[in-house]
């Protein structure tokens, strides 16, 4: 998935054969990877794929539309809670999956409409999405009483909703996805969303969106309604975050208010900054690096130092690679190649 991933300057270029070959090879590698992993390893890697989807929703919105939103975790939590409540009430998971994604999409559309068509500045938009995330977290935490019931499902406040059903195979309703099934599903959806967003950037919509990020006034003078494009991007990324939330609920068989939490919202920003917001593959790599680092450090009895260590890692990445890890490495490789080529000439 890494080769050919565009920065802002080349976002509108159509992917070449090398890019498609890299994507196909990456997908094939992911499909055969479970054969070499045990159940615990499949379980741990699956969450990286799911959280990478959440990071993708942020990187597309921030890196290409120029909208820094702290509300991706609100849509993430809505997707997870929506799936849990619907699946436990209906006893049917396929419909619940699509309905939960639609719930996140609709909420993103409504919230985005009032913010974007209200001509709220980018800074205040970020603040409002942060406030919405905090409101959701506090509201869910306050539902511990017995009166907080949706259908037959108690919200349980801080304790969350346990026993969230696994996804049932549509053509075989009596069979549920196991850990390997969740691995394949999350990996496949990550690749599909990545391809979809990359191709979207090559369309007129994607070109206008990048143009809005660069110079909104110029795009509007050319006759485009920037608000419509921003709202479409905000809604789309809300749906992707909702999809990640649904997959998280299926993976964990449990949802809790922490899905909406400020800590999760900050983590998404870190993943995107580390990987590089000017690419799509960068945040996926950033998510994998941070999550593996957390898992490794957490298993070595340094849990209380983990936030400090991650903070130092973030500072080093920002200081050494201002555009993020992947763009920085790519730029360094290009510089070395030019020097070698110049010396040879």
pLDDT digits (tens, 9 = 90+) for 183-230: 999 999 999 999 999 999 999 999 999 888 888 888 888 889 889 999
Residues 6 or more apart whose CB falls under 8 angstroms from that of 75 comprise 57, 104, 107, 108, 237, 238, 239, 241, 242, 245
Rg (CA), the chain: 21
Tell whether pTM > 0.75: yes
Asked, for residue 1, whether it belongs to a domain, the answer is no
Eight-state DSSP code of residue 164: P
Asked, for residue 116, whether it belongs to a domain, the answer is yes
Question: Pairing relation of β-strands 149-150 and 153-154?
Answer: antiparallel
For residue 53, give both structure tokens. Answer: 């989807």
CB of 93 within 8 A of CB of 168?
Answer: yes
Q: Which domain holds residue 137?
A: 17-261
Asked, for residue 220, whether it belongs to a domain, the answer is yes
Measured CA to CA, the distance from residue 39 to residue 43 in angstroms comes to 6
Asked, for residue 39, whether it belongs to a domain, the answer is yes
- Domains in the chain: how many in total? 1
pLDDT at 9: 43
How sure is the predictor about 5, in pLDDT bands with cuts at 50, 70 and 90? very low
For residue 344, give both structure tokens. Answer: 């040879």
Count, residues in the chain: 345
Would you give the end-to-end CA distance of the chain in angstroms?
33
Asked, for residue 292, whether it belongs to a domain, the answer is no
**Position with higher pLDDT, 70 vs 84:** 84
Q: What is the pLDDT of residues 47-69, one digit of tens each?
A: 999 999 999 999 999 989 889 88
How sure is the predictor about 292, in pLDDT bands with cuts at 50, 70 and 90? confident
Eight-state DSSP code of residue 14: P
Measured CA to CA, the distance from residue 244 to residue 82 in angstroms comes to 12
Distance of CA 151 to the CA centre of its chain: 30
Mean pLDDT of the chain: 86
Asked, for residue 131, whether it belongs to a domain, the answer is yes
């Amino acid at each position: 998935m890494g080769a050919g991933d565009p920065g802002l300057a080349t976002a509108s270029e159509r992917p070449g054969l090398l890019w498609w070959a890299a994507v196909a090879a990456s997908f094939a590698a992911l499909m055969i990877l479970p054969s070499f992993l045990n159940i615990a390893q499949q379980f741990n890697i699956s969450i990286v794929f799911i959280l990478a989807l959440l990071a993708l929703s942020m990187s597309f919105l921030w890196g290409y539309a120029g909208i820094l939103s702290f509300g991706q975790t609100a849509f993430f939590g809505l997707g997870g809670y929506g799936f849990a409540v619907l699946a436990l009430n209906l006893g049917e998971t396929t419909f619940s999956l699509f309905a939960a994604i639609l719930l996140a999409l609709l909420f993103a559309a409504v919230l985005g409409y009032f913010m974007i068509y209200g001509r709220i500045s980018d800074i205040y938009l970020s603040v409002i999405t942060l406030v919405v995330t905090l409101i959701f977290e506090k509201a869910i935490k306050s539902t511990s009483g017995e009166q907080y019931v949706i259908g037959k499902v108690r919200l349980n406040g801080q304790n969350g909703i346990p026993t969230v059903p696994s996804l049932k195979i549509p053509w075989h309703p009596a069979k549920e996805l196991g850990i390997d099934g969740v691995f394949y599903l999350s990996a496949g959806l990550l690749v599909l969303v990545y391809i979809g967003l990359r191709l979207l950037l090559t369309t007129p919509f994607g070109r206008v969106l990048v143009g809005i990020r660069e110079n909104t006034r110029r795009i509007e003078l050319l006759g485009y309604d920037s608000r419509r494009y921003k709202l479409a991007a905000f809604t789309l990324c809300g749906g992707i975050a909702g999809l990640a939330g649904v997959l998280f609920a299926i993976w964990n068989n449990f949802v809790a208010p922490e899905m909406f939490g400020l800590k999760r919202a900050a983590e998404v920003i870190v993943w995107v900054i580390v990987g590089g917001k000017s690419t799509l593959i960068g945040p996926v790599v950033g998510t994998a690096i941070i999550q593996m680092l957390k898992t490794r450090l957490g298993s070595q009895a340094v849990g209380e130092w983990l936030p400090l260590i991650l903070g130092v890692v973030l500072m080093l990445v920002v200081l050494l690679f201002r555009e993020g890890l992947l763009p920085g490495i790519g730029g360094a490789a290009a510089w070395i190649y030019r020097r070698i080529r110049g010396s040879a000439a």
